[in-house]
């Protein structure tokens, strides 16, 4: 099923989205992480549109064809969450199934915590609960080491230059080397490079990391709505022990640990990810 492109003016910016499926059906919103964009979800969009859902995948603030406001503070978590709440209000007008990976998972967790009235079910792929991540990052030397690149991203100018040189060789290598062989094809990488070449895109993408110090996470409490956490055990960025700790912050949580998958499981095993999400939604309907 072909996706359609839309531009939505909301929360003071413009969000570009890929959308498909019946506009009157249950809506699913997919949030990408770094350094991807809306097209990261193309296999999920096609599958769930065919299953009868309305599916939306935005280029989040700062990425690809969406607005790239100036200044680090424009990328604080409350702004990122407000973008997606505004998108849900405009396009779904009711509760959605919210799916997030990596930084998109951070936004999804926080949205479900602070605006639960807009979330029917929450699906997170390889991103821990905000309070679990913050605690682990402060106390576990292994996670500190794995997240050391984020400290480098705080420098002005140099991360942009290093990301851009030799035709984005560093960003390309970071994807290919941390995923199973053959996951990111030449065509996929070419699509990402087109997004990275957008004016001011690299700075805007990195500003998500630079704004982290301004974030006030209200995610210390328990998540009340149904949560599915899918975790690739061979994630090179995030310690797997955070997965169980995250589910313990949910009253109705389910953890699926996938042994041979990495941080990029939705690319490596899209059929499995789609089946797990579909099964989870069906189970929640049966419990309702």
Which residues are marked as active site?
Answer: 102, 209, 263
Q: Using an 8 Å Cβ cutoff, are 111 and 81 in contact?
A: yes
User: Residue 237: exposed, middle, or buried by beta-carbon count in 10 A (0-12, 13-18, 19+)?
Assistant: middle
Angle value at C-alpha 72, between 41 and 262, nearest 5 degrees: 35
| Backbone torsions φ then ψ of 255, nearest 5 degrees | -110, 130
Alpha helices in 18-60 (DSSP H): 42-50
> Residue 116 has which token pair?
């639960």
Among residues 268, 105, 108, 124, the alpha carbon closest in space to that of 188 is found at: 268
CA 39 – CA 57 distance, rounded (Å): 8
Give the Cα separation of 31 and 28 in Å (integer): 10
How far is 41 from 57, CA to CA, in rounded Å? 7
Joined tokens for residue 148: 């050391």
Beta strand pairing call for 13-20 and 54-58:
antiparallel
Q: Which residues pair with 14 in a beta bridge?
A: 9
Taking the C-alpha atoms of residue 210 and residue 34, their distance in angstroms, rounded to an integer, is 13
Cis ω before 35 (30° cut-off from 0) = yes
């Amino acid at each position: 099923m072909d996706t359609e492109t839309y531009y939505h003016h909301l929360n003071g910016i413009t969000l570009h989205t890929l959308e498909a499926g019946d506009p009157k059906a249950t809506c699913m919103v997919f949030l990408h992480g770094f350094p991807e964009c809306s097209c990261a979800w193309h296999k999920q969009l096609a599958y769930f549109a065919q299953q009868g859902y309305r599916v939306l995948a935005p280029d989040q603030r700062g990425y690809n064809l969406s607005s790239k406001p100036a200044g680090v503070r424009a990328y604080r978590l409350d702004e990122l969450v407000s973008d997606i709440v505004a998108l849900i209000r405009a396009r779904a007008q009711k509760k959605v199934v919210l799916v997030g990976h990596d930084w998109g998972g951070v936004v999804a967790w926080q949205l479900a915590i602070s605006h639960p009235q807009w979330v029917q079910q929450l699906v997170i792929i390889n991103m821990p609960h905000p309070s679990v991540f913050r605690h682990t990052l402060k106390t576990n030397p292994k996670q500190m080491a794995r997240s050391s690149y984020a400290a480098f991203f705080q420098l002005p100018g140099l991360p942009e230059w290093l990301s851009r040189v030799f035709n984005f060789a560093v960003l390309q290598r970071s994807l290919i080397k941390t995923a199973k062989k053959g996951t990111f094809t030449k065509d996929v990488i070419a699509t990402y490079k087109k997004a990275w070449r957008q004016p001011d895109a690299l700075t805007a993408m990195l500003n998500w990391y630079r704004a982290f110090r301004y974030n006030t996470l209200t995610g210390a409490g328990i998540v009340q709505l149904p949560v599915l956490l899918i975790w690739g055990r061979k994630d090179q960025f995030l310690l797997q022990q955070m997965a169980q700790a995250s589910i313990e912050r949910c009253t109705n949580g389910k953890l699926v640990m996938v042994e041979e998958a990495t941080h990029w499981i939705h690319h490596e095993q899209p059929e499995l990810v789609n089946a797990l999400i579909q099964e989870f939604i069906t189970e929640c309907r049966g419990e309702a």
